[in-house]
Amino acid sequence: MHELSIALSIVEGAQEEVERQGGGRVCAVHLKLGPLSGVVREALLFSYELACEGTSLEGSRLIIEEVPIRVYCERCGSEEDPMSGQRLHCSRCGNSACRVVKGGELELSALELQT
């Protein structure tokens, strides 16, 4: 389960940021997560609780914002939702040579601190 190592990295990164900000208690960690990240949301939520045990983040919440998949089509110049998560083709013109511009995120976006 690689979600545990990801959760440990999130906790470590959050702790480092709190130290840079001069301290405080973390109430919540906000994370952007795309379906192409390869991370299972429920497993990450479970792993986050385990990773927080015995740290300054114990009792904090992990708030996940799910980022939808978006592709950019070179042919028609549009940014669209793909036909499906398995067929990353342009939903406007059907082009299969699209570039994924959103959906692979695994990004710590914000911390809620109580001072």
User: Tens digits of per-residue pLDDT, 13-71?
Assistant: 999 999 998 888 999 999 999 999 999 999 999 999 999 999 999 999 999 999 999 99
pLDDT exceeds 70 at position 72: yes
The per-residue pLDDT for 15 is 95
Q: Contact 47/55 with Cβ under 8 angstroms?
A: no
CB contact set of 99 (below 8 Å; sequence gap of 6+): 71, 72, 74
pTM: 0.86
The per-residue pLDDT for 35 is 94
Q: Contact 75/90 with Cβ under 8 angstroms?
A: yes
The per-residue pLDDT for 1 is 58
Fold of 2-68+102-114: hypothetical protein PF0899 fold (3.30.2320)
User: Tens digits of per-residue pLDDT, 80-107?
Assistant: 888 777 888 888 898 888 899 999 999 9
CA 25 to chain centre: 22
